[in-house]
Amino acid sequence: MSLEKRIFLLLAAALLPVAALADINSTATVNAGQNFNFDSGAVVSSGGDIQFTGSQITFVGSAKGGSLAALGISGSAGFSEVMQGGQAELQALAGFATSSPIPASSITAGTGNGTIIALETNGGNSAAFLVTALSSGSISFQFITYESGTGGPPAPKITGIYNGSSVIGPGYVNSGISPSTLFAIRGSNLADPNAPVVNQDSSKGLPTNLNGATVSVSVGGQNFTPALYHALSYEIAGVLPAGTPSGTATFTVTYNGQMAQAQVQIIPSAYGIDNFEGNTAVVTDAVSYKLIAYVNGGGSPGTQASAYPGEYVTIWGTGLGSDPQDSDTTSNGQQHQISTLVQVYFGGVQSTNVTYSGEGYYPGVHIVVAQVPQGVSLGCYVPVAVITGSGASAVVSNTPTIPVAADASTECTESQYGITGTQIASLGGQASVKSGTILVGQTTSPGKNGGAPTTMDSAAAIFTETNAGGYGGNGGSVSAGACILSEPPPADVNTPQVVAIDAGTVSVKDPTGVTTTLTKISQTLGFYGAPLSSPIPSTGGTFVFSGTGGSTAPFIGPFSANINFPNPIISWENQSSLGTVTRSSGVQYTWTGGTPGTFVTMTGSSASANGVSGSFTCIAPVSAGQFTVPAYVLLGLPAGNGSLSIENTSALSTFTASGLDQGIGLGFVQFQINSVYH
């Protein structure tokens, strides 16, 4: 997915602080002449929200919607990002919804780059669907519908059961719960709504009945009653007993004499790394217990600016597997190694010195102590990965990041993002951060129905104000020489509060002097975009952005900024050989050209037949000429149809405006192909 799409979706996904719950997430096939009701998730003979005529999609009643193709959002990867934003993003996209029919001729089918349509239903709910198959006789799609109501039903309702640290949604290889693991049950009416938000003291023994709620687990003909850390109306956290066998487990929450049930897979191990502020790993120095952060800080135990090669650090999380030597309910102050094979990677470099165990004082908490290897990438967003098991049974964790520098007293730096650890900490310490990003790019994508590739030249600008808690995380960024794995979080995960900034009228003048005025896509998103009025010259050149400044709070003053478009254009040398990806072997990119001193971003995504999707992002210096995506990263993606892309970005430029804390600009050239992941 190209840089402007990623930034747009990350911002849109965090737009509103709505803890929306996905009511329906399924697939459907509608024959010509039939209607579909997104509020009930059913094909109907009349009424509903849309009708498929064979030649177009028409909206029924007061329902309205529109294709997201104009925003460059398509395919399973785009749909996953829309799901990540949840109801908040779909509400934000409502500004472009109309009742106009959508011709079938304008729709692309398939998980790779299929059309995504967002809509408002007759029931007042938000929905979206990805077209996976299309003919004159029928249309098939994956869809999701969200409740618009604010109150929960009187009976308990479970929306998901997750590893308490990684919170990875169902369907992924690494989404199961393992014995002796912290789990989180999310939903509504799960326990007393007035219960205090506090964890129980494990030194006194964790209770099995808390705030009126109990949990039971049934699997393999056996029943278990987990001990609970907390029980709130929207979340229950507990420890899965060590003796729980593998298989499909039914979790039952009982509250006020009523029950709710949901199923989840129990697997031998699936480690989740604890993280905060989006995707920053909870990692401490193994001796001082100082939290690895962006700056040195006092207190007890305090913070350390960066990890460094040779340092032993402690990774905090859960999911190493059964720990029968330690209690599931009561701390004993002892650490016993868990009999699971563990590998640890920092920035794609494997650590050769690793130990792991139950933490001892907190049942369900598992720690991994590893030495940061020599040769690791240095930067503010170095990913950490813990792999449990081996061969076909290997399971990769989530991949949050930490800052890594030459030594403990040196702050991290990120040349491709134009930021340092001190700046990250400083901006994150503000009540809010006002930022702006301007982009000009050329994207070459696969043609429809096997046709010739299409090239689009476009410009975009995004201006937003983010609450501090949402700014501190890396937002999907990764340091050069490394990769991160992205699995869309469940819809019931809260997102940072982001509001749009009014920048006034924004335009861009190309190297030939032709000016394009960008369209404000939505009043809510703070996103401006448009195709360029003339093609980008093959020799690149300077693009000049101008903004008149806004008048509706929050707003910024006038600005002017330059972007030097990449030259020479990057050439993806082995593009033709990557139509098939063998996940267990990794995948190598090779390229020539690109702007000296800049970086290459490689991305890929895949989706399974049941709609589970994921993606990776890797960055390397353009001078490297090649990069191999590690097998452990690809094994976190589902087998199925997907895509690969390569992107060369220009040298980072910065700009200022009154009222703006940070302004950056980038030019990019991207090539995308369809791929099948095995």
* DSSP per residue, 384-423: EEEEES-GGG-EE----EEEE-SSTTSPPEETTTTEEHHH
**pLDDT tens-digit map of 370-415:** 999 999 999 999 999 999 998 878 999 999 999 999 988 889 999 8
Residue 10 domain-assigned?
yes
Q: Rounded to 5 degrees, what angle do the CA atoms 155, 157, 163 make?
A: 150
pLDDT at 328: 94
Residue 152 domain-assigned?
no
- Which one of 240, 266, 292 terminates a domain? 266
Query: What does the pLDDT average to over 7-17?
Result: 26
Sign of CA dihedral 201, 206, 209, 213: positive
Q: Residue 244: is its pLDDT beyond 90? A: yes
15 — pLDDT class (breaks 50, 70, 90): very low
Across the chain, mean pLDDT equals 87
Query: Using an 8 Å Cβ cutoff, are 600 and 627 in contact?
Result: yes
Phi, psi of 655 (to 5 degrees): -150, 165
How do 126-134 and 138-146 pair as beta strands? antiparallel
6 — pLDDT class (breaks 50, 70, 90): very low
Q: What percentage of residues in the chain have a pLDDT greater than 70?
A: 90
Residue 61 domain-assigned?
yes
Residue 170 domain-assigned?
yes
87 — pLDDT class (breaks 50, 70, 90): low
Say yes or no: 251 and 178 in one domain.
Answer: yes
* DSSP per residue, 609-668: TTS-EEEEEEEEEGGG-EEEE-HHHHTTSPSEEEEEEEEEEPPPEE---TT-SEEEEEEE
pLDDT at 261: 93
How do 64-67 and 116-120 pair as beta strands? antiparallel
Residue 342 domain-assigned?
yes
The CA distances from residue 219 to 86, 204, 225, in Å, are 31, 28, 12
**pLDDT tens-digit map of 313-360:** 999 999 999 999 999 999 988 888 898 999 999 999 999 999 998 888
Say yes or no: 261 and 276 in one domain.
Answer: no
Radius of gyration, CA atoms only, the chain:
25
Query: What does the pLDDT average to over 236-249?
Result: 97
Say yes or no: 549 and 434 in one domain.
Answer: yes
Say yes or no: 426 and 342 in one domain.
Answer: no
The rounded distance, in Å, linking the Cα atoms of 289 and 284 is: 5
Of 438-442, 448-452, 464-468, 565-569, highest mean pLDDT = 438-442
Query: Using an 8 Å Cβ cutoff, are 188 and 156 in contact?
Result: yes
199 — pLDDT class (breaks 50, 70, 90): very high
Q: Residue 95: is its pLDDT beyond 80? A: no
Higher pLDDT, 667 or 425: 667
Say yes or no: 365 and 455 in one domain.
Answer: no
672 — pLDDT class (breaks 50, 70, 90): very high
Residue 593 domain-assigned?
yes
Q: Residue 16: is its pLDDT beyond 50? A: no
Residue 141 domain-assigned?
yes
pLDDT at 357: 86
Of 4-8, 19-23, 602-606, highest mean pLDDT = 602-606
**pLDDT tens-digit map of 97-114:** 789 999 999 999 987 889
Say yes or no: 573 and 658 in one domain.
Answer: yes
Higher pLDDT, 4 or 275: 275
- Which one of 248, 266, 284 terminates a domain? 266
Say yes or no: 260 and 278 in one domain.
Answer: no
Say yes or no: 137 and 7 in one domain.
Answer: yes
454 — pLDDT class (breaks 50, 70, 90): very high
**pLDDT tens-digit map of 550-593:** 999 999 999 999 998 878 889 999 999 999 999 999 999 999 99
The rounded distance, in Å, linking the Cα atoms of 367 and 320 is: 9
Print the domain residue range for 622.
Answer: 419-677
Domain count, the chain: 4
Pick the range with the lowest mean pLDDT from 136-140, 330-334, 616-620. Answer: 330-334
Residue 151 domain-assigned?
no
Residue 350, helix vs strand vs coil: strand
pLDDT at 183: 97
Say yes or no: 371 and 504 in one domain.
Answer: no
Say yes or no: 489 and 637 in one domain.
Answer: yes
Say yes or no: 279 and 262 in one domain.
Answer: no
Say yes or no: 425 and 512 in one domain.
Answer: yes
Q: Which of 434, 657, 470 is nearest to 554 (CA)?
A: 434
Side chain identity at residue 374, one-letter code:
Q
